[in-house]
């Protein structure tokens, strides 16, 4: 009887021991699972960090590319603006050249006009002088026609009188009869 009791007691003790071992193994497995979860979380964080590093590199490269492209566009725009300014300056120079040419042609026209006026004035003066000469000639002919004697008497009386004075002009100015 006592043996059976002791045997049952030992059996219960062995059962409790097995129970403790099962519990210990279960806790160990739980700790192992926790370590794995921790490791997985760590790997996930590392993947996120790596992804962030990659994204940051991509963003950085994109920023650099955009900066380069913007710089290139600005440089091209400045170059185009310089070219436009040069063209505007060339156009201003052409305009100044046209104006200089126009002023020069205007001066030439004025000189030609003054020269033509001067020639016309001189021609009118020559024509007047020819007309005066013709009038003097007509006066001489009239004097001769009035009678050679009277003309010769007058000439003897006033041998030094000019043709103007001989027909009554006291100051030597011809009287033009129209």
The 10s digit of each residue's pLDDT in 53-78 is: 999 999 999 999 999 999 999 999 99
Residue pair 143/167 in contact by the 8 Å Cβ criterion: yes
Structure tokens at 20: 């403790």
Domain count, the chain: 1
For residue 162, being part of any structural domain is answered with no
For residue 164, being part of any structural domain is answered with no
Instruction: Give the span between the Cα atoms of 133 and 145, in whole angstroms.
Output: 18
pLDDT of residue 7: 86
Q: Give backbone dihedrals phi and psi of 169, rounded to 5 degrees, phi first.
A: -90, 120
Instruction: Give the span between the Cα atoms of 83 and 8, in whole angstroms.
Output: 110
Structural domain including 27 reads 2-145
For residue 62, being part of any structural domain is answered with yes
**pLDDT band per the 50, 70, 90 thresholds, residue 4:** confident
For residue 60, being part of any structural domain is answered with yes
Structure tokens at 141: 């002919």
Does residue 42 have a pLDDT over 90?
A: yes
For residue 176, being part of any structural domain is answered with no
């Amino acid at each position: 009887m006592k043996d059976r009791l002791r045997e049952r007691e030992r059996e219960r003790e062995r059962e409790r021991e097995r129970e403790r071992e099962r519990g210990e193994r279960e806790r160990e497995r739980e700790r192992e699972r926790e370590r794995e979860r921790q490791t997985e979380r760590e790997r996930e964080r590392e993947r996120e960090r790596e992804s962030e590093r990659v994204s940051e590199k991509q963003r950085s490269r994109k920023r650099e590319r955009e900066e380069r492209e913007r710089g290139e566009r600005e440089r091209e725009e400045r170059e185009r603006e310089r070219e436009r300014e040069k063209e505007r300056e060339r156009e201003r120079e052409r305009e100044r050249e046209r104006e200089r040419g126009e002023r020069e042609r205007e001066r030439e026209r004025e000189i030609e006009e003054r020269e033509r006026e001067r020639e016309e004035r001189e021609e009118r003066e020559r024509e007047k002088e020819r007309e005066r000469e013709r009038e003097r000639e007509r006066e001489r002919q009239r004097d001769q026609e009035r009678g050679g004697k009277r003309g010769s008497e007058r000439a003897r009386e006033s041998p030094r009188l000019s043709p103007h004075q001989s027909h009554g002009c006291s100051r030597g100015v011809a009287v033009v009869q129209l």
